[in-house]
Structure 1
Amino acid sequence: MYPITYVTDCFGGNARARLSIRIGALFGQSPTIVAADGPDPESFAALTLLDCLRSTESLGEDGHPTITLVNIAPRDGEWPNGAPFCFFTYGKHLVASTFDARTLSLVRRELGIDRVHVTDIREVVDAARDWASFSADELDRIADTQFRSLWYLPLLAKWLTDGHAVPSTLTAVPELDDTEPTVSVVDNFGNCKLDCGAAAIGFSIGTSIPVAGRTQDGSITLTEVTCYRHLTDVPLGAAGLVVGSSGTDFVELVIRGGSAASAFNLRPGDSPLRSTPAEYAA
């Protein structure tokens, strides 16, 4: 059996129940479902996917294969029935995901995964006639449903782990234009995990970097925040920038003993390291 983690922006109770049962019926075990909630699910999914794959490193042994599923539904109208799904492997670990540049941006940049196998649902379910028994109505439901992350994505993962020849097209992951360091995750302590390493922001122990935050009236202010080696080096109650546990030594904005997200009024998707309040507010 494969440990399965499912990162999705469709995480209501009804959706969780159906996802758990369907994956359980296919694999003999239910997944760990991670809610990609908040205002920027793509940024959350990008960092979480990177962290999931990096968590398979440095085990001191070979370890077991894992499956990570990612469903983020861009609603930009670019695709007729939502973005297609793709798959790739990282070592012996399988990822099946929405094909979305932002969602895949960090595994592209940090792990060098610049090509993935993009699938067409109708083509795949038609090919599955060779190894699965579906009626014509079932094939139509899987190919045409709005809830493709329930009816199709678990099947794709199962068929790949079973070694079936799933048709796909090897496709380059689009490289995003240079972007400002962004808050990808706010953890339960209120620490703001950025999507970049120390070098990208000029991080140097003992120096300070201007961080933009929102006041209660919505205006933007800059605060000089000092860079520290560890959270324990930050004075109690003070803000600091430290190298955290996510990504490839990515930076976090923290307040020792408090919530940086609350103090700076930040949320996922914000870019608090722009150089001026006007740029931050843009």
Structure 2
Amino acid sequence: MTTLPPVVSLTDCADPNALARQSTRIATLFGSTPTVLPLTGPDPEGAAALTLLDLLRSTDLIGGPTLPVTVLVNIAPRDGHWPNGVPFCFFRYGEHLVISTLNRRVLAPLATYLGLTEVQVTDVREVLETAAGDWAELSAAEVEEMVRTQFRSLWYVPLLARWLADGRPVPARPAPVHPEAAADEVRVAVVDNFGNCKLDRPAAELPGREGAKSLFVRNRLDGRDVEVRCYDRLPDVPLGEPGITVGSSGIGFAELVVRGGSAAEVFGLNQGDRVFHLTS
């Protein structure tokens, strides 16, 4: 029997019922329980973008060959319109397989920092009808049910992942992925369990960081601009003081921290909130 890779799933469809169904379906297809990471905050696209970048980065610096992992990403774009939801695409990063909604904001950091240039976009009906005519035991009625459902992340994506892991000739069309132009605003991508605010930009790209050694952060609790000093590492920040450091995420992405406390609580910040405006 073919040894299948472990599955990690990032999804904004994350209530207990949805997680139970998705976990069971993936386990049935892959023979092991997946790791399902719910992204339920106010800006799931921003969290997914940083988390996917971090997930793939975590497979580097190994010092030798790696074992393959399959990653599923279900984060619907918050703009635009599709007849029955955004298409799903796939690509490989080394030996690792990623299947994702075609979400430009989620994929753009991979183009910027990992060199991703294109993805393979699938059409649900085309894939299912091809599979049913070749390798899958699916009736016409079952194909039609999966084509019409809005719950494609449950019914279609796990099948697509299994077929790609098996090396099936899944039909797809290439689409380019471009780095996004650097936004004028730097925002909180993820708030970790310590209250550190992981930002969506490398520390080296923050305004004036190299020369000024400090930046102004708006405190959302009282509306004041607070001068916050830049440090290389969290241990360099004085106890009880705020600081901007080179964090653990991305390619040297910045973090707003309070040593021994919660930057999110001190500054009233949440996922998706603006921290700096680069032209202000």
TM over 0.5: yes
Choose which of 217, 232, 236 in structure 1 pairs with 2:235.
232
Q: Is 2:265 aligned against 1:262?
A: yes
Q: Is 2:107 aligned against 1:104?
A: yes
Choose which of 178, 200, 210 in structure 1 pairs with 2:216.
210
User: How many Å separate the matches in 2 of 1:93 and 1:157?
Assistant: 12
Q: Is 2:139 aligned against 1:135?
A: yes
Q: Is 2:182 aligned against 1:192?
A: no
User: How many Å separate the matches in 1 of 2:78 and 2:23?
Assistant: 24
CA-based RMSD of the aligned residues comes to: 1.6
2:49 is matched with which residue?
46
Task: Give the paired residue count.
Answer: 274
Q: Is 2:173 aligned against 1:169?
A: yes
Contact 1:115/1:171, CA 8 A, preserved across alignment: yes
User: How many Å separate the matches in 2 of 1:156 and 1:6?
Assistant: 14
Counting aligned pairs with the same residue, the percent is: 53
User: How many Å separate the matches in 2 of 1:39 and 1:167?
Assistant: 35
What are the Cα deviations for residues 55-79 of structure 1, in whole angstroms up to 9, with x where unaligned?
A: 0011122120011110012353511
Q: Is 2:160 aligned against 1:156?
A: yes
User: How many Å separate the matches in 1 of 2:245 and 2:80?
Assistant: 39
Q: TM-score normalised to the size of structure 1?
A: 0.93
3-state DSSP of counterpart to 1:74: coil
User: How many Å separate the matches in 1 of 2:118 and 2:242?
Assistant: 39
User: How many Å separate the matches in 1 of 2:163 and 2:272?
Assistant: 35
Contact 1:75/1:82, CA 8 A, preserved across alignment: no
Contact 1:196/1:250, CA 8 A, preserved across alignment: yes
User: How many Å separate the matches in 1 of 2:63 and 2:181?
Assistant: 37
Q: TM-score normalised to the size of structure 2?
A: 0.94
User: How many Å separate the matches in 1 of 2:224 and 2:89?
Assistant: 41
Contact 1:205/1:228, CA 8 A, preserved across alignment: no
Read off the aligned partner of 1:6 and give its amino acid letter. S
User: How many Å separate the matches in 2 of 1:109 and 1:212?
Assistant: 28
User: How many Å separate the matches in 1 of 2:253 and 2:211?
Assistant: 14
Read off the aligned partner of 2:159 and give its amino acid letter. L
Seen in structure 2, the aligned counterparts of structure 1 residues 110 and 275 have a Cα distance that, compared at 3 Å, is closer
Read off the aligned partner of 1:37 and give its amino acid letter. T
2:61 is matched with which residue?
58
User: How many Å separate the matches in 2 of 1:178 and 1:76?
Assistant: 19
* Unaligned stretches of 5+ residues in structure 1: none
Seen in structure 2, the aligned counterparts of structure 1 residues 150 and 209 have a Cα distance that, compared at 3 Å, is same
User: How many Å separate the matches in 2 of 1:205 and 1:2?
Assistant: 47
User: How many Å separate the matches in 1 of 2:5 and 2:94?
Assistant: 14
Contact 1:212/1:274, CA 8 A, preserved across alignment: no
Read off the aligned partner of 1:140 and give its amino acid letter. E
Contact 1:206/1:228, CA 8 A, preserved across alignment: no
Read off the aligned partner of 2:182 and give its amino acid letter. D
2:124 is matched with which residue?
121
